[in-house]
A and B are shown apart, each in its own frame.
Chain A
Amino acid sequence: SSELTQDPAVSVALGQTVRITCQGDSLRSNYPSWYQQKPGQAPVLVNYGKNNRPSGIPDRFSGSSSGNTASLTITGAQAEDEADYYCNSRDSSNNHWVFGGGTKVTVL
């Protein structure tokens, strides 16, 4: 089965830029989606497809993909961006979906 690999944790200074990466074979044929989860809350979609943001998500969240690697970039990180971030992708071989292990973003 397909897997997605994320770095467990990253930190970023307030107002600076941080990139969260996600690696996996399924990303070669499917765009990922990205979810933000704050403690005690349900996940929230922040980016999907080539680089699409749902209504209400700030434009500082952007996505990109190349080969087997996808990235979510937060440009000008704010204190409220401190959260866990998960990538997700569909595995075309079996019509299953898979999540990355999650990246904890700390804003310093």
Chain B
Amino acid sequence: DAKTTQPPSMDCAEGRAANLPCNHSTISGNEYVYWYRQIHSQGPQYIIHGLKNNETNEMASLIITEDRKSSTLILPHATLRDTAVYYCIVRVNYGGSQGNLIFGKGTKLSVKP
């Protein structure tokens, strides 16, 4: 069973904010939300993660709803180099298979000039 649901694809205009949604309605209290992206022909790249508070770093912001059932990754000023498949993953941070990083199908974001 998939733990997350993401739209298969999205478009965004260059220079605009890209808002990528993720539903994780069955998330448990000790599961974190992680975001990775994979640019064509490269290995995945870690972006950000959070538990319940909103997080921001130099790449993106992560907004998690109060009930934790969904989140949004925000790229504030998308560039053509942000075109990639974006993966939302929920996982615990301790031992056992529940802590494995399991990738779904992700959202293919196309940034257009």
Chains A and B form a bound pair = no
Interface residues in chain A, defined as those with a beta carbon under 8 Å from any beta carbon in chain B: none
Interface residues in chain B, defined as those with a beta carbon under 8 Å from any beta carbon in chain A: none
